Amino acid sequence: MVQTLHRIVWFVVLILVQTEILNHVHTMGYATPVVFIYYILVLNSETPRKSLLLQAFLLGLCVDVFGNTPGMYAAASTFLAFSRRPLLQAQMLRETTDDYEPGIQSMGFGSFLRYVASAVLAFMVVVRVIDAFSFFHWVELLLRIVTDTFMTVVCIMGIDVMRRKR
């Protein structure tokens, strides 16, 4: 019960931070951190796939509703949830039967960084390709993907370090 309440609080807080603060931050005109996906990335490793997909879709849909981005983040969040298990298994140092919450403490800094970077890169490619809806300005598209990925990875690693410090 306490863990469910904790998850709901994280869900709401990450949506509010993303929609009210971070959607308006554009470092150097390009880099926009997207930290709400931290919720998807650190869900328990043995979360049922249907639950994971539903939570990711609802999270992305909430950001879409408050951020006025029609379905962009819902699609990308669902894609991230779908590809999360293979990305996590590629970086795991444990047996596939272990049940744990991904993070720096449980995976180690290097493994968690690789997991977050690959997941954020996949997410950003989907978001930016849907947003651009063409490949005419591919240099700008690549620049946005790289800068968004870098800023998001830095923010997510910082959040995980601060959250686990207790």
How many degrees, rounded to 5, is the angle at CA 66 between CA 65 and CA 71? 35
Q: 127 is in which domain, residue-wise?
A: 2-164
| pLDDT given for residue 154 in this prediction | 94
| pLDDT given for residue 93 in this prediction | 58
| pLDDT given for residue 136 in this prediction | 79
| pLDDT given for residue 166 in this prediction | 58
Which residues neighbour 6 within 8 Å (Cβ) at sequence distance 6 or greater?
Answer: none
| pLDDT given for residue 120 in this prediction | 96
Q: Give the residues of the chain that fall short of pLDDT 70.
A: 93-98, 166
What pTM, to 2 d.p., does this model score? 0.89
Which residues neighbour 91 within 8 Å (Cβ) at sequence distance 6 or greater?
Answer: 107, 111, 112, 114, 115, 118
Number of domains within the chain: 1
For the segment 81-112, what is each residue's pLDDT rounded down to a tens digit?
999 989 988 887 555 556 778 888 888 899 89
